[in-house]
Amino acid sequence: GAGVSQSPSNKVTEKGKDVELRCDPISGHTALYWYRQSLGQGLEFLIYFQGNSAPDKSGLPSDRFSAERTGGSVSTLTIQRTQQEDSAVYLCASSSGAKTLTGELFFGEGSRLTVL
Partner 1 sequence: DQQVKQNSPSLSVQEGRISILNCDYTNSMFDYFLWYKKYPAEGPTFLISISSIKDKNEDGRFTVFLNKSAKHLSLHIVPSQPGDSAVYFCAASANRDDKIIFGKGTRLHILP
| Contact footprint for partner 1 (CB under 8 A) | 4, 33, 35, 41-45, 48, 50, 56, 58-59, 91, 93, 97-100, 102-110
CB of 106 to partner 1, least distance (A): 8
* Of 59 and 80, CB closest to partner 1: 59
CB of 81 to partner 1, least distance (A): 26
- Do 31 and 97 form a contact (C-beta atoms < 8 A)? yes
Exposure pattern of 75-103 as b/e (b: 16+ CB <10 Å)? bebebeebeeebbbbbbbbbbbeeeeeee
* Of 88 and 93, CB closest to partner 1: 93
Cα 116 to Cα 96: distance, rounded to the nearest angstrom? 37
CB of 64 to partner 1, least distance (A): 21
* Of 91 and 113, CB closest to partner 1: 91
> Which amino acid belongs to residue 58?
S
CB of 43 to partner 1, least distance (A): 4
* Of 50 and 76, CB closest to partner 1: 50
- Do 91 and 108 form a contact (C-beta atoms < 8 A)? yes
Length of the chain: 116
